[in-house]
């Protein structure tokens, strides 16, 4: 179905919603929005295959608001504001972001929304719930806590939305989901969004959806075409040096670096900070306020590199994130799809770099099998012993290597580097970009070339 000429107005959305969209700067619906909105407005159940970054939040939030609009009330009485739509999400961060979006879209209506999630004192959420809200965004565990404390009623829920359903299953929320579903009225509309379509997701959709319409904006398990993917083969022990190198050389202000474990995330953040790179870690062991603080600092550009584990990074909505780096590639290939979904959002271009050691080769193969394409391989020709010696202060300002890569045409499918210089073993070079006396390695020529190639390739002369 072609969705190119569709406007928000042609989707039969209320003027209040159109006004909010206009103020927020949305002009045309994304493909998932153009396809999902009419189906939801018809009252059908929906199974949507859409990655983060496709505009999936508005794809369910806009028709949801449209359907609830006639029930909106300006009365102060809580009884006039029962929970009518329940949005379940796997993580606190996603919960916060989804509810923030709902608030934006609902700002010209009398509909109320609230978010509840774990890790914070439940008592702080109760008074807000008691006032009555039509739209509740929740993580499953905390929702059940409130059910137990009888601080909310689910008897009037007419719409259930499961966002990032695949991740909910990965995180073991199935029993909680079943308990929640049992508390909801049978007569209701169900929407399910998932980035990937595993057999478990298909089973879940059969169980929870009634004759759903299937909508898919990208091939299932495919990765976003706007993202240039690259792999650097590098020894495990050289990864840190290569990462520092990339971070120092790129002019990209916001990079998410993924690690597999909380320990690596913390250690890496500390190491990078010692080397003068502004970095912080975000993982499950950090308190909610620490995570929000780190995320805010990142969003405001106070931190350039956010080191994150998969779980912690889930649901982070950072507009126009230009680059993600997989410091360690995930052993579950679906996580790769999720990770690189952080960049290249809503049509923007992005770069996803993976540092792959020989030990991780098998995981890379699994990823390529899942995404059905080979990722461009490059060899990282790092100078020996350079990890500590090369800091940003030792380099002159560089060419805008990333910008060029990002503004070039769409990412090319897998191809080997055809730059003979790049494929040669590293030849120590020295020039004005470094302090020659401090390190013998940098004495000859061509200091920037390796890095430019590293971050997207230099244009070939002639």
Q: Output 167 or 345, the one with its CB closest to ligand AMP.
A: 345
Number of H helices, E strands in the chain: 18, 14
193 lies in the site for ligand AMP, by CB under 6 A:
no
53 lies in the site for ligand AMP, by CB under 6 A:
yes
**Which residue is associated with the tokens 């959305």?**
13
**Which residue is associated with the tokens 């120590």?**
428
Q: How far is the CB of 94 from ligand AMP (least distance, A)?
A: 9
CB of 427 closer than 8 Å to CB of 218: no
- String marking each residue 304-343 x if it binds ligand AMP according to CB under 6 A: -------------x-x------------------------
Q: Which ranges of 25-106 would DSSP assign to H, the alpha helix? A: 31-41, 56-68, 92-105
205 lies in the site for ligand AMP, by CB under 6 A:
no
Strands (E) located in 234-287: 255-258, 279-282
Residues 341 to 360 in contact with ligand AMP, rule: CB under 6 A = 345-346
9 lies in the site for ligand AMP, by CB under 6 A:
no
- H or E element: which one contains 348? none
**In this chain, which of 6, 11, 17, 29 binds ligand AMP, going by CB under 6 A?**
29
CB of 304 closer than 8 Å to CB of 255: yes
**In this chain, which of 11, 46, 56, 201 binds ligand AMP, going by CB under 6 A?**
56
Of the ranges 53-61, 269-277, 306-314, 327-335, which one interacts with ligand AMP (CB under 6 A)? 53-61
254 lies in the site for ligand AMP, by CB under 6 A:
no
- Picking from 408, 406, 391, the residue whose alpha carbon sits closest to that of residue 442 is 391
Strand order in the sheet with 135-138: 113-116, 135-138, 85-88, 159-162, 189-194, 46-49, 213-216
Q: Output 33 or 381, the one with its CB closest to ligand AMP.
A: 33
Q: Which ranges of 7-139 would DSSP assign to H, the alpha helix? A: 15-24, 31-41, 56-68, 92-105, 122-131
Q: In angstroms, rounded to a whole number, what is the distance separating the alpha carbons of residues 68 and 334?
A: 34
26 lies in the site for ligand AMP, by CB under 6 A:
yes
Q: In angstroms, rounded to a whole number, what is the distance separating the alpha carbons of residues 50 and 192?
A: 10
30 lies in the site for ligand AMP, by CB under 6 A:
yes
Q: Output 89 or 247, the one with its CB closest to ligand AMP.
A: 89
52 lies in the site for ligand AMP, by CB under 6 A:
yes
Of the ranges 52-60, 135-143, 369-377, 378-386, which one interacts with ligand AMP (CB under 6 A)? 52-60
Q: What is the binding site for ligand AMP (CB under 6 A)?
A: 26, 29-30, 33, 52-58, 317, 319, 345-346
């Amino acid at each position: 179905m072609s969705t190119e000429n569709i406007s928000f107005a042609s989707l039969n959305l209320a003027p209040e919603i159109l006004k909010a969209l206009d103020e927020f700067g949305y002009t045309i619906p994304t493909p998932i929005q153009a396809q999902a909105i009419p189906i939801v407005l018809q009252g059908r159940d929906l199974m949507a295959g859409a990655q983060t970054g496709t505009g999936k939040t508005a794809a369910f939030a806009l028709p949801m608001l449209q359907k609830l609009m006639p029930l909106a009330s300006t009365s102060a009485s809580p009884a006039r504001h029962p929970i009518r739509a329940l949005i379940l999400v796997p993580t606190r961060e996603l919960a916060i972001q989804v509810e923030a979006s709902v608030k934006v879209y609902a700002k010209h209506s009398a509909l109320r929304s609230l978010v509840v999630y774990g890790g914070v004192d439940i008592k702080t959420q109760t008074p807000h719930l008691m006032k009555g809200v039509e739209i509740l965004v929740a993580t499953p565990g905390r929702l059940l806590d409130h059910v137990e404390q009888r601080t909310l009623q689910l008897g009037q829920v007419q719409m259930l939305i499961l966002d990032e359903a695949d991740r909910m299953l990965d995180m073991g929320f199935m029993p909680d989901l079943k308990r929640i579903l049992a508390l909801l009225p049978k007569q209701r509309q169900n929407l399910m969004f998932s980035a990937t379509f595993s057999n478990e997701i298909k089973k879940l959709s059969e169980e929870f959806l009634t004759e759903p319409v299937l909508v898919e904006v990208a091939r299932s398990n495919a990765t976003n075409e706007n993202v240039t993917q690259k792999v650097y083969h590098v020894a495990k022990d050289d990864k840190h040096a290569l990462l520092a190198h990339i971070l120092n050389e790129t002019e990209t202000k916001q990079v998410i670096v993924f690690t597999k474990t909380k320990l690596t995330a913390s250690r890496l953040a500390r190491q990078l900070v010692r080397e003068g790179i502004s970095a912080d870690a975000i993982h499950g062991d950090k308190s909610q306020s620490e995570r929000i603080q780190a995320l805010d600092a990142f969003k405001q550009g106070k931190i350039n590199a956010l080191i994150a584990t998969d779980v912690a990074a889930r649901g982070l909505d950072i507009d126009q994130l230009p680059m993600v780096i997989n410091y360690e590639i995930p052993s579950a290939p679906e996580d790769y799809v999720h990770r690189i979904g952080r960049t290249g959002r809503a049509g923007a271009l992005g770069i996803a770099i993976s540092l792959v050691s020989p030990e991780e080769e098998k995981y890379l193969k699994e990823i390529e099998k899942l995404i059905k394409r080979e990722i461009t391989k490059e060899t990282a020709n790092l100078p020996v012993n350079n990890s500590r010696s090369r800091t940003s202060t030792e380099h002159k300002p560089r060419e805008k290597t990333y910008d060029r890569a990002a503004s070039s045409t769409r990412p090319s499918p897998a191809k080997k580097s055809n730059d003979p210089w790049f494929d040669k073993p590293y030849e120590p070079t020295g020039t004005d970009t470094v302090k020659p006396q401090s390190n013998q390695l940098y004495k000859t020529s061509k200091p920037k070339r390796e890095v430019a190639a590293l971050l997207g390739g230099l244009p070939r002369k002639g």
